[in-house]
Structure 1
Amino acid sequence: LGHIPHKNWDKEYIETFSKDIALDLVAEKEKLGIKIVAAESKNYALADQPNNIIPDFFPATLKANEVLNAINLQKDPSAMTMLVDEHKLLNIVETLKANFGDKITVGVWGGKNPILELSPKGVNKAKGVDFLAKTYNIDKKNIIAFGDEHNDASMIDYAGWGVVMQNGTDKLKSLANDITEYDNEHDGLARYLEDYLKLA
C-alpha cells in the first residue's frame, strides 16, 4: 500500500491477496500453532482476538467491527501479521509456502517475538522504496534506509546507504553499511541523522 494519509495522491496504489487466505488461517490457527492473526488494508485493521501476550503491537481491546471474521473482512487485505508459537514457527512458514506460496510472500520478523508477516507475492519494502525513487526521480545512492528486523532486509540492501538500528537483528546487521550508536528506545534514528546530515 502506497498512499499519503488523509490526502488524495494520484500515485496511490495497493496490492492485495485473497481474503480467503486470512479466513482459512483464522479457522486453522490452533492446529497450526498461531496465537493471534491480524489483517489490514488502507481503511481497516482487524484481529481475531484481543492481545494479552505481547505489549504495544496487536490491539489489547477490540470493538465488534474490529474482529477478524467473515462478517468484518469484506475486502482483500494488503498485509497480515501473526504471532505464532516460536517452536512451530518454521513448520508454519513451510505450511504457508506450500499452501499459498504462489499468492503470498511469507516474512519472518526475526526479533525477540515470533512474528510472521504476509504480503502479496513479490511485495517487500524495497519495492515500495523503488516506487518512490522512480516516482520522484531519486537516485538509489541518495537513499538512506533504516531498519531493525528481518523484514527490512530488502530495503537495507536496496538503499544507497542502509543503516541498521543498534537493537536490530544480527542477520540484518550483516547487510548494513552502518549501525546506529543508539537503539529505538533512545532516539537512535534521529541522533544518527543529526550527525550524518550535520544538523546538530
Structure 2
Amino acid sequence: MKRALIAIDLDRTTLNDQGRVSAHTRQVLQRLQGDGHLVAIITGRSTRLALPIYQELALTSPMINFDGGLGFHPNYDWTDSYSFPLADPVVKDLLDHQASLGIEALLLENQTGTWRVNNQGAQGDFRLLEPDEPLFFPIQDDTLPSLSTLQDQTVPVVNGLVLYVAKQNQSKVAVYLRKAHPNVNVQVQAWGDNSCLMSLALTDVDKYTGLKRLQDSFGISSEAVYAFGDELNDYAMIAGAAHGVVMKNGNPRLKAIADDITTFSNEEDGLARYLEREFNLI
C-alpha cells in the first residue's frame, strides 16, 4: 500500500471519554507509523494540551493545533510550518472592553505560552464550568502567568482565545464583534448550550488548512488521505479528505457527509479497530 496520511482528531476520536489514549490505539498508530505512513494530529486543542499526547504516541510528524491555525514540528524546523494568529486589534479590543461586555476572564494561547486575564471587577463563578472544561480553561491555575497590566506592547500574539462569559451576555459579545470588526476574519463561537465558554476563531482557517499543508508537504496522493473526527470543527477536513471517517459516537451532522463511519465508538477503540481493518493489520 502506498504511503498514506492518517489525520487524527483527539477528543472523542483518538482519546476515550476520560481523555486518555488506550494501549490498543497507541500500538496501532505506532505500527502504522513504523510501516511508513504519516500519522498526524489535527486538533482544536492548544499546543499545551496536544503536545503530551503527541509525545505519548511517539509521533514523528508535524502537528496541527488550534483547529488549523498553527502547524509545526515539535522536534525540528519543518519547512512548511505556519501560524495564522488572531487579529491583534480584535484581541486588544476584547481586553479593553471586557468589563462592559461582561467578559469575566480570558485565556490566551500560542505555541509556546498561555496567559490568564481576570476581570478584576467581575464576580466570576467558575464553578459553572462543565466538568471537563477546567482542562481547557485553567483560569484558576496560579502556575500560569497572568496579564494584569495590559499595554499594547505586552499583549502576546496568539492563536487561541477563550472567554468566560455568562450565558446572558454571550450574544452581546458576538454582536459587538460583528459591528466593531466587520471586515476582520474572526468569529466568536459558544462552546455549548450550557457552557459559559466562548472561543474566538478565524473564519477562513480550519482543519482542512492543516490537512492540505501536510499532504502537499509530504507529497501524499489525494486518494491516500484519511481524516478521522467526531465533531463539527472536523467538518472541513472530513469533507476534504478522500477518506473522511466519522466516529460512531460522532455528531449526526458530521456523519451525514462522511465517506465512512466507524463500527465502534471512541470508548471501544473505534479508531484503532477501523485502521486495523483498513490497513490489513489483522
Contact 1:147–1:165 (CA<8 Å) still a contact in 2? Answer: yes
Going from structure 1 to structure 2, the CA distance change for 1:89 and 1:148 (only over 3 Å counts) comes to farther
Going from structure 1 to structure 2, the CA distance change for 1:5 and 1:170 (only over 3 Å counts) comes to same
- The answer to whether the aligner puts 1:131 opposite 2:213 as a matched pair is yes
- The answer to whether the aligner puts 1:61 opposite 2:144 as a matched pair is no
TM-score, length-normalised on structure 1? 0.78
Hey, what does 2:44 align to over in structure 1?
Answer: none
Hey, what does 1:192 align to over in structure 2?
Answer: 274
Letter in 2 for 1:104: N
Please point out which of 243, 256, 261 is paired with 1:161. Answer: 243
Contact 2:208–2:240 (CA<8 Å) still a contact in 1? Answer: yes
Going from structure 1 to structure 2, the CA distance change for 1:197 and 1:47 (only over 3 Å counts) comes to farther
Going from structure 1 to structure 2, the CA distance change for 1:76 and 1:39 (only over 3 Å counts) comes to same
Offset at residue 119 of structure 1 (A): 3.4
DSSP 3-state at the match of 2:72: coil
Deviations 1:73-122 (A, max 9, x none): 54311222345555665664444333334323336477676454433451
After superposition, residues 51-130 of structure 1 pair within 5 angstroms as 52=127, 53-54=129-130, 55=132, 56-59=135-138, 61-63=141-143, 65-67=145-147, 70=150, 74-82=155-163, 84-85=165-166, 92-106=173-187, 108=189, 114=195, 116-130=198-212
Larger radius of gyration: 2
Going from structure 1 to structure 2, the CA distance change for 1:99 and 1:190 (only over 3 Å counts) comes to farther
Going from structure 1 to structure 2, the CA distance change for 1:176 and 1:166 (only over 3 Å counts) comes to same
- The answer to whether the aligner puts 1:5 opposite 2:61 as a matched pair is no
- RCO higher in structure (CA 8 A, sep ≥6): 2
Offset at residue 139 of structure 1 (A): 2.5
5+ residue gaps, structure 2, are 1-69, 119-123
DSSP 3-state at the match of 1:48: strand
Hey, what does 2:117 align to over in structure 1?
Answer: 48
Structure with the bigger percentage of helix = 2
Hey, what does 2:85 align to over in structure 1?
Answer: 16
The total of aligned residue pairs comes to 200
Letter in 1 for 2:273: R
TM-score, length-normalised on structure 2? 0.58
Percent identity of paired positions between Structure 1 and Structure 2: 28
Greater displacement, 39-48 / 70-79: 70-79
DSSP 3-state at the match of 2:85: coil
Contact 2:80–2:213 (CA<8 Å) still a contact in 1? Answer: no
Residues of 1 paired with 2:158 and 2:235: CA distance?
A: 23
Offset at residue 5 of structure 1 (A): 1.0
